[in-house]
Amino acid sequence: MAGTVAASIADIDFIKRREGIEELFEDGTASFLSIASLHHGFKILNSLTVSAISRHTTSLALYTRKTLLALRHGNGSSVCILYGRHNSM
């Protein structure tokens, strides 16, 4: 029987299953409600141009780069080191 569990112990064979039937399918199962949004998502994708997708992808990459480079440990040192051609963005 698949599904999520409320508790488990690794050292012994113990699993406590969740109580309700709806909780058994909570993790790992795609929501059937999201199927209806596929049509709308494909309509939006079909309306976009290649240049619009490129601009959006570039802006996401730049935002991610800036956010990662801004991460600092408690002592102030950088959390991330990014390798590659940074100036191309």
Please name the residues in contact with 6: beta carbons below 8 A apart, sequence gap of 6 or more: 16, 17, 18, 19
Does the pTM surpass 0.85? The reply is no
Tokens of 77: 């040192």
- Residue 51: the pLDDT is 93
Tokens of 43: 């309509």
pLDDT at 5 over 80: no
Percentage with pLDDT > 70 across the chain: 71
